[in-house]
Amino acid sequence: MSVARFTRVSKEQYEKDTRDYPEKMELEAVPLPARATAGSAGYDFVCPCEVRIAPGERVLVPTGIRAEIDAGWMLMLCPRSGLGRKYGLRLSNTVGIVDSDYAFADNEGHILLALEHSSADTVTVHAGERVCQGIFLPVALAEGDSAEARRTGGYGSTGA
């Protein structure tokens, strides 16, 4: 059963969001998230930029990717286990949630990863390295739910 489609954001949005990263992949070269095996639950996202992160630093890494998700579903972003083990890196919000209406936000639904560094040495995440995995999950609603607002804001905002 398919509940979503991965696409790339526009070249303009990608250039705007990656302007602080001089060493980056061309947008067309950024692979769409994919599962490694038929039994994999998660779709691997790669880092399209070379990112240097100092101890205690937090950075926002643009992926170049958006997900058009069917209503009633969400995309949960989880760190890959090697991210913490190799680098002492984690997602700042521990788990990212991409709502089904995020694809239509002002930032084209550009999925951004908030990375945080906890080890003693500066680390470099190289362009093309897998950094997180996305898992699609159903969204259940509470009885009496009446939310009707439309998203306009981008990352970290529902616009409500």
By the 8 A CB rule, do 46 and 128 touch?
Answer: yes
Strands (E), the chain: 4-8, 43-46, 51-53, 58-62, 65-69, 73-79, 89-91, 96-98, 112-117, 123-125, 130-138
Q: What phi, psi does 53 have (nearest 5°)?
A: -125, 120
Q: Give pTM, 2 decimals.
A: 0.88
* Residue with tokens 């950024």, as numbered in its chain: 30
Domains and CATH numbers, the chain: 4-138 (2.70.40.10)
Query: 19-72 pLDDT, tens per residue?
Result: 999 999 999 999 999 999 999 999 999 999 999 999 989 999 999 999 999 999
Sign of CA pseudo-dihedral 101, 64, 131, 134 = positive
Q: What is the pLDDT of residues 121-142, one digit of tens each?
A: 899 999 999 999 999 999 998 8
Instruction: Categorize the per-residue pLDDT at 153 as very low, low, confident or very high, splitting at 50, 70 and 90.
Output: low
